[in-house]
Amino acid sequence: MMKKDPIRVAVTGAAGNIGYALLFRIASGQMFGPDQPVALNLIEIEPGMAALKGVAMELDDCAFPLVTDIVQTAELDVGFNDCDWALLVGSVPRKAGMERADLLGINGKIFVGQGQAINDHAKSSCRVLVVGNPCNTNCLIAMKSATDIPNEQFFAMTRLDENRAKTQLAQKAGVPVKEVSDLCVWGNHSPTMFPDFYNTRIARQKATDVIGDETWLKETFVPTVGQRGKAIIEARGASSAASAANAVVDTVRDLTTPTRGSFHSVCVHSSGEYGTPPGIITSMPITVDAVGNWRVVGGIGLTDYAKEQIAASNEELLEERKIAFEQLGLSI
Ligand code: NAD
Ligand code: LMR
């Protein structure tokens, strides 16, 4: 068999909680497959470099056969050099009592410099997944700052919300989670996100028929999914890390392999699909074809309630964009 060239993956915040849960899964082949070599560019800020050294030592100690080399750096030009994927995790997580949007002023500016460095040093085909919150708007900031990289190569993460929503429905229906399909989380990765239970299937039947309780779906299920990040912070005293890393693996794997099943939720640059405001990064149902191109799935019927919820979440994204772009001097 022909030897594959390594995929070079840059990860920011590599010594943080998500980084620690993520790197070993990339290195073991769970993201790009069991015969795909990977090179890791681990990026931290200076105060994180000592801990990063320890993480890199542990990666060495795993003797992962797929890992070709590991770069440790606080320099963005070195960190993003020649990378195929940039996983932008590094940023401050919220604490109890905060909303994700409260992080805009703290984290937004990070993504200007990172977008510019990706533009100047990564491969032109580099794909970027933003995890650091508020991830939709941070992704938009990075995209605007990487003027030569096509907008289609920027993504933000709502797969954790999709996974959470599937499990909530599976538990309510008393079935294994693999029976839940066709579930798209729309909008912003914030409490306004809308997990569309109307189009969801449970064991191939309509979820609304299986659950048989629309009030529960609207008044318990939707807010539980929207507030799950907060509930984890309250329970753990720290924001979700292993489940977030798992969702990063799921997102990248499902953007790099033909879609199994129907679709998955990913925040992408809107061209106005389903009436979303063009130009924002918002969550929609995505499929990937046999040659690796993604597209928004067409023809999904949305109820008036769903349309209202999605519109409200996208309205919030327009507001976040306005605040962030004013702060950072970016133009729409
Ligand atoms: P953490 O505090 O444990 O780790 C963050 C790491 O990023 C730290 O090591 C820090 O030194 C580093 N860092 C900070 N600024 C950086 C910069 N400019 N460049 C490179 N590294 C930098 O946080 P965490 O739990 O790993 O969470 C990281 C982010 O992910 C937070 O913003 C959190 O809210 C977000 N998050 C998003 C989702 C999602 O579904 N989209 C899920 C969970 C967490
Ligand atoms: C999550 O959904 O768990 C993350 O976005 C962290 C948070 O602040 O909720």
Walk me through the domains of the chain, giving residue ranges and CATH numbers. 7-156 (3.40.50.720), 159-320 (3.90.110.10)
User: What residue has token string 């679709």?
Assistant: 263
pLDDT along the chain (332 residues), means of 10: 89 98 98 98 98 98 98 98 98 90 90 98 98 97 98 98 98 98 98 98 98 98 98 97 98 95 95 98 98 96 98 98 95 90
At 56, list the tokens.
């890199």
The whole-number pLDDT of residue 2 equals 65
Nearest CA to ligand 2 atom 7: 229
Nearest CA to ligand 2 atom 4: 229
Q: Which residues face 269 on adjacent strands?
A: 281
Counting ligand 1 atoms within 8 A of each CB, the residue from 42, 55, 72, 89 with the most, and so the one to mutate, is: 89
- Identify whether 189 is a catalytic site residue: yes
What is the separation of C-alpha 107 from the centre of its chain, rounded to a whole number of angstroms?
16
Nearest CA to ligand 2 atom 9: 229
Measured in Å, residue 246 CA sits from the centre of ligand 2 at 13
Integer-rounded Cα radius of gyration of the chain: 19
Measured from the CB, is residue 159 less than 6 Å from ligand 2? Answer: no
Closest-lying ligand 2 atom to the alpha carbon of residue 94: 8
At 95, list the tokens.
């604490």
The whole-number pLDDT of residue 261 equals 81
CB neighbours of residue 124 within 10 Å: 9
AA identity, residue 251: T
At 1, list the tokens.
């068999």
Closest-lying ligand 2 atom to the alpha carbon of residue 160: 2
Kindly give the interhelix angle for 159-173 and 242-256, rounded to the nearest 10 degrees: 110
Measured from the CB, is residue 16 less than 6 Å from ligand 2? Answer: no
Distance (Å, whole) CA 143 – CA 69: 28
Measured in Å, residue 227 CA sits from the centre of ligand 2 at 9
Distance (Å, whole) CA 277 – CA 186: 13
Measured from the CB, is residue 52 less than 6 Å from ligand 2? Answer: no
The whole-number pLDDT of residue 3 equals 85
Q: Where are the beta strands (DSSP E) in 225-319?
A: 264-269, 281-288, 294-296
